[in-house]
Amino acid sequence: MGSIHLFRDLPELKHFAAGEYIFRKGDPGSAMYMIIEGEVELVIGKSVIEVAHPGAFIGEMSLIDDAVRSASARAKSAARVFPIDLKRFQELIKTTPSFALDVMKALTLRLRRNEDRTTERRTVPTRGRVAATMRRKRSTRRTR
């Protein structure tokens, strides 16, 4: 996302070691995070549903709908993230249109991926789902 330059050198960055949780499913959501360095896995149960890379937002849904976390976020590698609390989020939405657009794009992308997975589960035999998952993973690696 294009907003990463807004946060890269700020002193509030948080550091997480590989395997460390940034937040867990069911936690209250007091902040969202922008990934500055490293990779973060979004996990539900034992399944990794997405791997987020530098420039990606995680945890934004809880700030928008004031609900608990719908997934856990775990550092896949050493990671630096910038926390954005509700006050800062609202300020950035009002003053930085590119930030608001980046958040909307992130939500739209996540929604489309979830729709694709749901459709796949309903319509594609198991062997085809495995192949589609492998293609998505290869595609994700190429787009970084």
Q: In CATH, what number is assigned to the domain containing residue 40?
A: 2.60.120.10
Three-state SS sequence of the chain: CHHHHHCCCCCCCEEECCCCEEECCCCCCCEEEEEEECCEEEEECCEEEEEECCCCEECHHHHHHCCCCCCEEEECCCEEEEEEEHHHHHHHHHHCHHHHHHHHHHHHHHHHHHHHHHHHHHHCCHHHHHHHHHHHHHHHHHCC
Instruction: Confirm whether pTM is higher than 0.85.
Output: no
Compare 1 and 110 and report the one with higher pLDDT. 110
3-state class of 134 per DSSP?
helix
How confident is residue 9, by pLDDT bands cut at 50, 70 and 90?
A: low
Q: Domain range for residue 96?
A: 2-142
Average pLDDT over residues 116-126: 71
> pLDDT of 60-116, one tens digit each?
998 889 899 999 999 999 999 999 999 999 999 999 999 899 999 988 887 887 777
Phi (first) and psi of residue 70, to 5 degrees: -90, -10
Tally of structural domains, the chain: 1
Share of the chain above pLDDT 70, in %: 77
